[in-house]
């Protein structure tokens, strides 16, 4: 069995543009970045998928986690501050796979209808791992269909799907399973109208129950964890 996790870190520009609480809790972005790096350094999962990773955060992770394998994909779209305030040295936005051990990049792409969302795929042993961030509107249908095309016989998809378990299952089609959460689980994205939108999805392997760890106010998303077991 291997363990996996997914966490949307909340890019600082998106946080300020959408008036999230995180910038008020962490007015110094360098301090938040360091705290996120420390939180991830303490995680023990084999594979961690990260979304909304700024260039500043990626540099901090590379420096703070020297023993991990990093795979990253920078989106063509670069977030633009609406207020004119720019707290980052590198505003680029990345999908990241953080692996404890060897990993081989397979593909990276932004979705054709959203240049700030996409997929990053790699092999970890016999498993294909896909980190993804899906749009939160009707574009998700085509994007989920594209993820199904990218998937191999033994695949785990990790990410912020911006929708519910039922919608993902319906759009991906037969053969895919979305890990469930305990009945008393906190949501993956707290707040009114948000709920469970970060998921562990599998094909050809089995995921245990997904659990949610509080991010401590570092992001507007919590951390999702699960164990993955081959079916053969």
* CA neighbor of 33 nearest in space, from 95, 198, 41, 199: 41
pLDDT level of residue 181 (50, 70, 90 thresholds): very high
% of the chain surpassing 90 pLDDT? 94
Mean pLDDT of 83-94: 89
Question: Which pLDDT tens digit goes with each residue over 113-159?
Answer: 999 999 999 999 999 999 999 999 999 999 999 999 999 999 999 99
Mean pLDDT, the chain, whole residue set? 96
Structure token pair of residue 53:
């990773």
DSSP letter string over 35-82?
A: HHHHHHHT---SEEEEEEEEHHHHHHHHHH-TTSEEEEEE-SS----S
Report the CATH number of the 2-230 domain: 3.60.10.10
Q: Is the pLDDT of residue 192 over 80?
A: no
pLDDT level of residue 232 (50, 70, 90 thresholds): low
Q: Is the pLDDT of residue 163 over 90?
A: yes
Mean pLDDT of 71-88: 91
* CA neighbor of 64 nearest in space, from 46, 88, 37: 37
- The pLDDT assigned to 79 comes to 95
């Amino acid at each position: 069995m291997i363990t996996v996790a997914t966490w949307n870190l909340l890019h600082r520009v998106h946080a300020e543009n959408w008036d999230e609480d995180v910038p008020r809790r962490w007015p110094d972005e360098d301090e938040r970045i360091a705290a996120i790096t420390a939180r991830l350094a303490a995680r023990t999962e084999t594979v961690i998928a990260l979304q909304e990773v700024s260039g500043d955060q990626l540099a901090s992770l590379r420096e703070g986690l020297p023993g991990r394998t990093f795979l990253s994909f920078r989106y063509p779209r670069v977030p633009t501050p609406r207020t004119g305030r720019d707290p980052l040295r590198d505003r680029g936005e990345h999908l990241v796979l953080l692996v404890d051990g060897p990993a081989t990049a397979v593909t990276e792409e932004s979705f054709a209808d959203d240049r700030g969302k996409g997929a990053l795929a790699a092999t970890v042993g016999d498993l294909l791992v896909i980190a993804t961030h899906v749009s939160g509107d009707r574009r998700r249908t085509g994007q989920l269909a594209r993820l199904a095309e990218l998937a191999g016989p033994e695949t785990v998809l990790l990410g912020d799907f911006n929708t519910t378990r039922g919608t993902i299952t319906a759009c991906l089609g037969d053969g895919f399973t979305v890990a469930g959460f305990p009945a008393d689980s906190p949501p993956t994205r707290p707040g009114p109208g948000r709920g469970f939108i970060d998921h562990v999805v599998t094909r050809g392997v089995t995921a245990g129950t997904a659990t949610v760890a509080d991010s401590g106010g570092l992001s507007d998303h919590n951390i999702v964890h699960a164990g993955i077991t081959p079916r053969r």
